[in-house]
Structure 1
Amino acid sequence: KPELHASMVELGTPICHTSKEVKAALFEQRAHISQLAAERGLQIAAASTHPFSHWLGQEISPYERYYKTVQDHQIIAQRMLIFGMHVHIGIEDRDMAIDCMNVVRYMLPHILALTTSSPFWSGRATGLKSYRSILFEELPRTGLPEEFGSWAAFDRFVKRLINTGCIADGSKIWWDVRPHYAFPTLEFRVPDICTRAEEAVAVASLIQALVAWLCELRKRNMTFRTYRPDLIYENKWRALRHGLDGRMIDFGKEEEVSAKSLVRE
């Protein structure tokens, strides 16, 4: 599929019901695109920034939606030579999806720490494990979502943005996790792209397991504690700065621990 920059290639699996199906689809797609590139003397690498390519040398894909994106966001959009991994988890109950989004925000830095793959930008080492995360938040309506009390409350929020000319539709909300406005899914957008396909499958499976667990808790009138976004941002910064090599905050215990131990927990 085309993307904003003509040099990007977007891969998308069909709807999968098991990790085995995800693995089969992703492995097949990555192998196919690698073969097509090899036939042209090129190589493919999965990462969330290109190690040396510069955004100034990139062409915008010749589609109206992408021209409109550049028109609206100017140099910010032109600099978006970044690549993310989006995982959709099907949740038919829209209120359940909202409740899950509220709670799972705490776990987004953990997911990011597992996937960081963008330490380079325009031929330079940035000193960050996920420079993509910094670049993407230059756009509006990115980062952590606020807490919503129901699907109806979220729907009112989206319609207010549409009615005031802020966005054309709900797809222009680019939070780290969002309820997809057209499909009954909760879309996780925080991960960097996993360079190894098997790790991408593992992360997608982990996200599905987290959502299933949170939904099961809610069905039993239980839930996981929610935390203020500014506290979660502290862990997100640590995740994008150090990945799994640093330390994060266990806000339940109010202490600093290794990122690896917090993710494992």
Structure 2
Amino acid sequence: VNISQNIFHHDELFTIGVEEEYMLCDPDTGELINRADEIMDLLEKDLKPRYSYELILSEIEVNTSVCDSVNMAMKEISYLRNNTRKLGEKLGFRIGISGTHPTARCKDQSFVQNDSYNWVVEQLSYYAKRNVTFAMHVHIAVKDEHYAISIANALRQWIAPLLALSTNSPYFEGENTGMRSSRIMQFGVFPRTNIPMRFENFNEYKILVDNYLSSDTITKPR
């Protein structure tokens, strides 16, 4: 698999893309409610590329375009957040933003039915069904695959302080978990998460990805 050809084709360096996942909450009780299908049906044509499903129907994801600056990314994500809020006024929900919902029960959630998420549930079974989590993801373009490996290796030492700065999910299924981030504990049970290994070079990373693909551990390179 030519990962570098598939991913590293940027004309501009350090462009930014942001994804943000929202809870869809009952405006009276605050509990999660299934509105993702209705949101996708109601979207105007030009906004459809900016929205996507996540694992559960009580969650929706928005994504910016490829932005040239942090300010542009902030402006776009603010617009999408406000647009989702307005959709909530029409469809009877409010958005919530946190790593986990404080009281929602995993067993009460309805899952999105498509090939990608069905594969996740098939692979991870019980643990996929407990992944009632939410996040913001920031993607930054770099010049080539070798630079990406160097950055990934260097960032390993900053994972702990970055996590400490971003913790916002002490509650899960109505319990005070005792952790500032219960999300990292929920998501961390997935077998291919947590702190990434160090790679000597991009070829070493490519060999790992090829092995994952040939063993059906993943379905596409990243």
- TM-score band, normalised by shorter chain: 0.7 to 0.9
Does the residue aligned with 2:94 lie in a helix, a strand or coil?
coil
Find out whether 1:168 has 2:219 as its counterpart.
yes
- 2:114 and 2:216 map into 1 onto residues whose CA distance is 22
Find out whether 1:33 has 2:88 as its counterpart.
no
Specify the alignment match of 1:99 in structure 2.
150
Specify the alignment match of 2:162 in structure 1.
111
Q: Which amino acid is the alignment partner of residue 92 of structure 1? A: K
Find out whether 1:130 has 2:161 as its counterpart.
no
- 1:39 and 1:123 map into 2 onto residues whose CA distance is 29
Q: Which amino acid is the alignment partner of residue 178 of structure 2? A: G
Q: Which amino acid is the alignment partner of residue 125 of structure 1? A: N
Specify the alignment match of 1:11 in structure 2.
62
Find out whether 1:84 has 2:130 as its counterpart.
no
- 2:102 and 2:111 map into 1 onto residues whose CA distance is 19
Q: Which amino acid is the alignment partner of residue 110 of structure 1? A: P
After superposition, the C-alpha distances for 1:120-146 in whole angstroms (9 at most, x for unaligned) are 111222121100000111111110111
Q: 2:100 aligns with which of 49, 59, 65?
A: 49
- Superposed displacement of residue 105, structure 1: 0.8
- 1:7 and 1:163 map into 2 onto residues whose CA distance is 34
After superposition, the C-alpha distances for 1:147-192 in whole angstroms (9 at most, x for unaligned) are 111111100111012223322223xxxxxxxxxx2xxxxxxxxxxx
Specify the alignment match of 1:69 in structure 2.
120
Q: Which amino acid is the alignment partner of residue 45 of structure 1? A: G
- 2:156 and 2:84 map into 1 onto residues whose CA distance is 33
- Superposed displacement of residue 102, structure 1: 0.5
- 2:220 and 2:60 map into 1 onto residues whose CA distance is 24
After superposition, the C-alpha distances for 1:62-92 in whole angstroms (9 at most, x for unaligned) are 2121112111111100000001221111012
Q: 2:200 aligns with which of 135, 149, 155?
A: 149
After superposition, the C-alpha distances for 1:214-257 in whole angstroms (9 at most, x for unaligned) are xxxxxxxxxxxxxxxxxxxxxxxxxxxxxxxxxxxxxxxxxxxx
- Superposed displacement of residue 38, structure 1: 2.2
- 1:50 and 1:166 map into 2 onto residues whose CA distance is 29
- 1:20 and 1:115 map into 2 onto residues whose CA distance is 20
Root mean square deviation, CA, Å: 1.2
Q: Which amino acid is the alignment partner of residue 71 of structure 1? A: E
After superposition, the C-alpha distances for 1:24-71 in whole angstroms (9 at most, x for unaligned) are 101101101111112233211111101111111111102121112111
Q: 2:209 aligns with which of 158, 162, 183?
A: 158
Specify the alignment match of 2:73 in structure 1.
22
Q: Which consecutive aligned stretches of 4+ in structure 1 deviate over 6 angstroms post-superposition? A: none
Q: How many percent of aligned residue pairs carry the same amino acid?
A: 28
Deviating more after overlay: 157-166 vs 13-22: 157-166
